[in-house]
Amino acid sequence: MSDSAPVLTIDGPGGAGKGTISRLVAERLGWHLLDSGALYRLTALAAVKHEVPLDDEATLAEVARDLDVVFVAEEDATIVLLEGQDATTTIRTEQVGDAASRVAALPAVRQALLQRQRDFHQAPGLVADGRDMGTVVFTDAPLKIFLTASADERAHRRQRQLQEAGVDASLSSLLKEIQARDARDTQRSVAPLKPADDAITLDTTRLTIPEVVDRLTELLTERGLAPAT
């Protein structure tokens, strides 16, 4: 770990664009990327695979600590291997996302994954994508962003993603799932989803992905955390 390496935290609800934007900013700057949500999704997927109930907190914490995970960076994406098998697509399903939201509400699971997330902090810098990156995991980060968008817009985005993958999805069902997940994430007792006190909130409802990426790199440059690109 390099304490001098800058950290950009990007928190926010599902569908706000955190994953794509974090990856593009990291690629532009040549920084490391932490997709913390993937770790919770992988924990949930491993639990289902090994028939661990999603309310068995102690066993789920063991699953989180012992995750056999490898992230393989490729040109346009990151391949995720769970126990040697490609889980890249599986962890992005609505079912796994819902299970991950339940698992993430458990304090013992969050504690088990905390150091694993902090170990991603290495030179030349880190873009950390999640829901509590700025409030819990990297509280001293010099730049914290809270990305948001309306629930309707996030439901439309998710529907478009699924349609592009050849999956039919009801917009009303997706909206209900997003609203339910938002409620769980914001109301959980440990590390609830909320902007850090010193975070900049950016609503992406009417912004394009390139516009958001440009804005974040501009903020990093203005603060002397990254060279002009």
What pLDDT score does 75 carry? Answer: 67
**Segment holding 9, helix H or strand E:** strand 7-11
Q: Provide the CATH number for the domain formed by 7-217 in this structure.
A: 3.40.50.300
Q: Is 128 annotated as a binding residue?
A: no
E-strand stretches of 85-226: 85-86, 126-130, 143-148, 200-203
CB neighbour list of residue 27: distance below 8 Å, 6 or more residues apart:
none
Q: Is 90 annotated as a binding residue?
A: no
Q: Is 155 annotated as a binding residue?
A: no
What pLDDT score does 3 carry? Answer: 58
Q: Is 16 annotated as a binding residue?
A: yes
DSSP state of 59: H
What pLDDT score does 1 carry? Answer: 43
pTM assigned to the model: 0.86
Q: Is 20 annotated as a binding residue?
A: yes
Q: Is 176 annotated as a binding residue?
A: no
Going residue by residue through the chain (229 aa), what tens digit of pLDDT does each one get?
445 799 999 999 988 999 889 999 999 999 999 999 999 999 999 999 999 999 999 999 999 999 999 887 676 777 899 999 999 999 988 899 889 989 998 999 999 999 889 989 999 999 999 999 999 999 999 999 999 999 999 999 989 988 888 888 899 999 999 999 899 889 988 889 999 999 999 999 999 999 999 999 999 999 999 987 6
* Residue 56 CA: distances (Å) to CA of 37, 42, 47, 66: 20, 16, 10, 16
Token pair for 16: 């706000």
Q: Is 18 annotated as a binding residue?
A: yes
Q: Is 125 annotated as a binding residue?
A: no
Angle at which helices 94-104 and 171-187 pack, to 10 degrees? 10
Per the DSSP assignment, residues forming a β-bridge with 11 are 130, 146
Are the C-beta atoms of residues 209 and 126 closer than 8 Å to each other?
A: no
201-216 as b/e: b if 16+ CB within 10 A? ebebeebeeeebbbbb
Q: Is 17 annotated as a binding residue?
A: yes
